């Protein structure tokens, strides 16, 4: 009976957020699949597009390498390496060019000391701890009836939410840099840019979905904690 009052809260907050997150993930997958069929007019591949963006922005100490998987693309600031998945690295599609340029945009952010990127990097250690321990601490605190443990768990989960919130401008800015350079440098023709924007916009929605799920969970945890104190 203890958790029955929280069922409606879960349904009205978490469930819609999860549905949105799943829809966003489906949209990025379908968008990438669709525009992977549209070849770049000049035949440039994802890896070449990433290198063009780096060169255009005056970044010369970042490597572009292949990584296994599908849409596993990422930039590692610790090694200054852009990792492009098998579906992007050698693909001469507008989708691959957009994804690769986006990751190059992150590399440029790092070199240019983009403030949200620096903030996100600064809280990563706490975020890693929070993502693993926050929920267990809240549950343990409820079992042992220790308010302090519950508060620590909620605080750690709040850091995870802050990290996801800061991630939004980081991702949007990387996409904006990518689209701008792809157009200015002539890597893509003007009529190819809209397709790339659609792929990157769809990808950005996955971060919005993740934030929505985490916000709903944070509100639920806070509500459960307040309810127990009454």
Query: Does the annotation mark 171 as catalytic?
Result: no
Dist CA 103 CA 84 (whole Å): 8
DSSP secondary structure string, 8-60?
HHIIIIIHHHHHHHHHHHHHHHHHHHHHTTSB-TT---HHHHHHHHHHHTT--
CA 228 to chain centre: 34
Q: What is the pLDDT of residue 160?
A: 95
pLDDT-based confidence at 228, cuts 50/70/90?
low
d(CA 204, CA 174): 10
Q: What is the tens place of the pLDDT at every residue in 38-60?
A: 999 999 999 999 999 999 999 99
Q: What is the DSSP letter of 44?
A: -
Under 8 Å between Cβ of 136 and 189: no
- What pLDDT is recorded for position 221? 87
Question: Per the residue annotation, which of 48, 52, 103, 171 is the catalytic one?
Answer: 103
pLDDT in tens, 121-140: 999 999 999 999 999 999 99
Q: Contact at 8 Å (CB) between 110 and 77?
A: yes
Binned at pLDDT 50, 70 and 90, residue 120 comes out as very high
Percent of residues, the chain, with pLDDT higher than 90: 79
End-to-end CA distance of the chain: 16
Question: pLDDT-based confidence at 71, cuts 50/70/90?
Answer: confident
In this predicted structure, what is the pLDDT of residue 3? 44
pLDDT tens column, 209-226: 999 999 999 988 888 777
pLDDT at 92 over 80: yes
Residue spans of the domains in the chain: they are 4-229
Query: Six-digit token pair at 213?
Result: 């799920």
pLDDT tens string 159-179? 999 999 999 999 999 999 999
- State the Rg of the chain over Cα: 20
Query: In whole angstroms, what is the distance from residue 5 CA to residue 17 CA?
Result: 20
Containing 161, the helix (H) or strand (E) segment is helix 147-184
Give the ranges where 115-146 is alpha helix by DSSP (H).
115-144
């Amino acid at each position: 009976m203890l958790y029955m009052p929280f069922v409606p809260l879960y349904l009205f907050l978490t469930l819609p957020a999860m549905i949105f997150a799943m829809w966003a993930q489906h949209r990025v997958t379908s968008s990438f699949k669709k525009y992977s069929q549209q070849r770049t007019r000049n035949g440039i591949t994802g890896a070449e597009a990433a290198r063009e963006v780096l060169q255009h922005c005056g970044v010369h100490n970042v490597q572009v390498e292949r990584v296994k998987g599908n849409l596993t693309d990422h930039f590692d600031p610790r090694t200054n390496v852009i990792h492009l998945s098998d579906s992007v690295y050698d693909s001469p599609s507008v989708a691959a060019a957009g994804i690769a340029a986006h990751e190059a945009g992150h590399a440029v952010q790092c070199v240019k000391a983009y403030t949200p990127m620096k903030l996100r990097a600064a809280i990563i250690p706490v975020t890693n701890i929070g993502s693993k321990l926050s929920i267990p601490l809240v549950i343990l605190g409820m079992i042992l009836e220790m308010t302090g443990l519950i508060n620590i768990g909620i605080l750690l989960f709040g850091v995870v939410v802050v990290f996801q919130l800061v991630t939004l401008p980081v991702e949007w800015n990387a996409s904006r840099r990518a689209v701008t350079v792809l157009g200015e440098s002539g890597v893509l023709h003007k009529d190819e840019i809209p397709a790339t924007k659609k792929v990157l916009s769809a990808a950005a929605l996955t971060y919005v979905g993740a934030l929505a799920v985490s916000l709903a969970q944070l509100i639920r945890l806070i509500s459960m904690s307040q309810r127990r104190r009454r």
